[in-house]
A and B are shown apart, each in its own frame.
Chain A
Amino acid sequence: MTAQSTVIKAPGEKAGEPAGGAGRPGKREGRRSEGMALNVFSHGFLVVWAIMIVLPLLWLALGAFKTDAQIGGSALSWPSNWHFDAFGRAWTKGIGGYFANTLIVLVFSVPLTMLFGSMAAYVLARYPFTGNRLIYYFFVSGAMFPVFLALVPLFFMVKRFDMLNTYQGLILVYVAYSMPFTVFFMHSFFRTLPTAIHEAAVIDGASDTRIFFQVMLPMAKPGLISVGIFNILGQWNQYILPAVLMQPQTSADPERYMLTQGLIQLQYQMGYETDLPVLFAGATIAMVPMLVVYLSFQRQIQSGLTSATLK
């Protein structure tokens, strides 16, 4: 990451060196001082917004170390202790279970999304047949519709399959709702792969299925990583689908809340029990994995986003 960013910055820094501008006519000098003023001005605004992003998040995490009275008393108070017991309490109050539920669902839903999405996108991108465009638009158009349009019938559909409040029900629904973006993204990726390699594999006697799994899929790895991260983020952060589909149906039914749902649950609960440090600790626990995923893959996320939306 560091090596890359130096490469990016290098031409800019060179251009800013005094040596480059020194020999130039006076007009350049004027422009440079204007540039200087603007540089300070830009940094000013940019820093303010950066603070507006980082500060609230740090403040939230700090809240986990405060007492309830401290949180209610003054926003700007400093935590009185640095014990992690609020994190422990949050974990046992349910965050641990919600965390596990989300992991269980994602371990199946993300690979399935990737597999099914790639399969459909591959066939649609590289095999001309009647109805190809129709099916492609069918898949892609799903991204345009508000999920609320489907919500009521979806609930009863899942109920009819007897899959309300089950992991497998949510997994299938997540996979289905991730199709539009995954197919769209992988479709454009598979189109760019060279035909020559495909033909060589055919001449070598490989079957279509084999070509897909052993030649095309490995070649599409960069695209798979980008779209995989988007699916992880999207499914991890999903709220509306689990809120409707993952409610215990009888009192005997176990709670299988997802992390987002559980966090909101905790918010209600802690409002009554007045144990806000637990809520802040819970939110921090929910935030950290995403922060880690984001910081490790931010390059893929930003480039993936760029190629997906600017096409």
Chain B
Amino acid sequence: MSQVAQRKGRAGFITGFLFAPLALYLTFVIWPYVQTFGYSFTNWSGQSPTFDFVGMDNYATLLSDEVFRGALWHNLLLLVFVPLVTILLALFFAFMVNAGGRGGAGGVQGVGGSRFYKVVYFFPQVLSLAILSVLFGAIYRSDEGGLLNGFLTKIGVIDAAHPVEWLNEPNLVLWCLLLVVVWHGVGFYLVLFSAAMQSVPKDIYEAALLDGAGRAQTFFKVTLPLLWDSVQTSAVYLGIAAMDMFVLVSTMTSGQFGGGPDHHSEVMSTVLMRNFLYFGKSGYACAMGVVMLALTMILSVITLRATRRERIEF
């Protein structure tokens, strides 16, 4: 390639091919990202062309903003539980799909119809969050018409006269949203972990079986360590998703841009959008964006550090 690449006239071609993609990307992605930092030090309303530099004022206000602090706390809760629950379920199902089959002569193998399970499980991933919002809005309905209430009434767990108001119950609302995220995500990570499991050479499993390892032992001593890289990456992805949550919270819960009842499901993105589009506090909203970025970065680093292990080559 090198002698080909060193030919003359290369520069014009390279520039020509990079120009349009780079120009678009810089204009609509990178430059707005950079601008956010600048605006976060101003009291810009968004409407007026003029604004003042206010230094760290927005950040100081953020610290004492009860709603934002509550939202931050909710994001942190989600940040722990979304990856934890999703990854555990996905690992469990991936192991079932790939190694839960009848252990015949060859040792570990997948269940029959593993392809079918993978196709079905992945399906929620291709649905838009708007569809999820309509679907789970209906499932969590506060009367007997909701799938959850209807089902629980039918089997006699809850009283027909007093169905649970899932999304209006301060202590339940966040967990109801968590369930939606998990329902949505498990299939994706199942496929991811399955692929990683399948890339592990079969003879490693066979060796473990010959040495007398049971299935549980095989999982914890062989499969999990070999999958560790994928688990780590997944934790970071899921963490980023847990920092967002905007669509589900803003469309499924009560209040302007969601967050209800009484800020019990508030997340940082909904507070940001409300301040930007409803209260007209663009500078303040930018400061929130910066805090979200900082937290995402910090938590990615923590996740990668805390889960760091010796990398196993195979």
Contacts and interface: CB of A to CB of B under 8 A. Distances in A.
The reply to whether chain A is a binding partner of chain B is yes
Interface of A: 5, 8-9, 11-13, 15-17, 20-21, 24, 28, 31-32, 34-36, 38-39, 41-43, 45-46, 49-50, 52-54, 56-57, 59-60, 63, 71-76, 116-117, 119-120, 122-124, 126-129, 135, 138-139, 142, 144-158, 172-173, 175-177, 179, 183, 195, 198-199, 202, 207-209, 212, 233, 236-237, 239-240, 244, 259-261, 263-264, 267, 276, 279-280, 282-283, 286-287, 290-291, 293-295, 298, 301-302, 305-306, 309-310
14 contacts: A12-B110, A32-B103, A35-B102, A45-B93, A53-B120, A57-B123, A71-B145, A75-B150, A138-B25, A139-B21, A144-B300, A146-B293, A148-B288, A153-B33
Interface of B: 1-2, 4-5, 7, 9-11, 13-14, 16-18, 20-22, 24-25, 27-33, 35-36, 39, 46, 89, 92-93, 96-97, 100-106, 109-112, 115, 117-124, 126-131, 133-135, 137-139, 141, 143-151, 154, 183, 186-188, 191-192, 195-196, 199, 209, 214-215, 230, 233, 240, 243-244, 246-247, 251, 268-269, 272-273, 276-277, 282, 285-286, 288-290, 292-293, 296, 300
Contacts of B154: 76
A150 B33 contact: yes
A226 B129 CA distance: 22
A305 B286 contact: no
A306 B195 contact: yes
A54 B100 contact: no
Ranked nearest first, the 9 interchain pairs of A and B with the lowest CB-CB distance are A75-B150, A42-B100, A35-B103, A237-B128, A15-B106, A176-B28, A260-B130, A153-B35, A150-B32
B100 A149 contact: no
Contacts of A42: 96-97, 100-101, 111
A73 B144 contact: yes
A267 B251 contact: yes
Contacts of A305: 188, 191-192, 195
A38 B100 contact: yes
What's the dominant secondary structure at chain B's contact region?
A: helix
A280 B139 CA distance: 12
B4 A198 contact: yes
Given A41-B100, A264-B133, 8 more contacts: A15-B106, A39-B102, A46-B93, A56-B139, A127-B13, A157-B32, A237-B128, A294-B122
A207 B17 CA distance: 13
Contacts of B118: 302
A298 B17 contact: no
A79 to B, nearest CB: 13
B184 to A, nearest CB: 10
Contacts of A41: 100
A36 B102 contact: yes
B30 A142 contact: yes
A186 B146 CA distance: 44
A87 to B, nearest CB: 15
SS class, residues of chain A in contact with chain B: helix
Contacts, number: 324
Contacts of B139: 56
A85 to B, nearest CB: 19
Contacts of B128: 236-237, 239, 259-260, 263, 286, 290
Contact of B138 (A31, A60, A135): A60
Contact of B147 (A43, A59, A306): A59
A146 B93 contact: no
B28 A290 contact: no
Contact of B192 (A148, A301, A309): A309
Given A239-B130, A263-B131, A310 B230 contact: yes
B187 to A, nearest CB: 8
Contacts of B129: 237, 239, 260
Contacts of B290: 149
Contact of A60 (B109, B112, B135, B288): B135
Contacts of A31: 103, 209
B133 A267 contact: yes
Contacts of B209: 31
Given A150-B33, A157-B28, A310 B101 contact: no
A127 B14 contact: yes
Contact of B112 (A9, A152, A287): A9
B22 to A, nearest CB: 7
A196 to B, nearest CB: 10
Contacts of A71: 138, 145
Q: Which of B96, B268, B292 has the most chain A CB atoms closer than 10 A to its own CB?
A: B96
Nearest to B97: A46
A24 B33 contact: no
B29 A150 contact: yes
A157 B300 CA distance: 29
B144 A53 contact: no
A122 B17 contact: yes
Contacts of A207: 13
B134 A148 contact: no
A129 B14 contact: yes
Contact of B151 (A76, A116, A124, A237): A76
Contact of B127 (A129, A282, A287): A287
A228 to B, nearest CB: 14
A43 B240 CA distance: 32
Contacts of A291: 123, 126
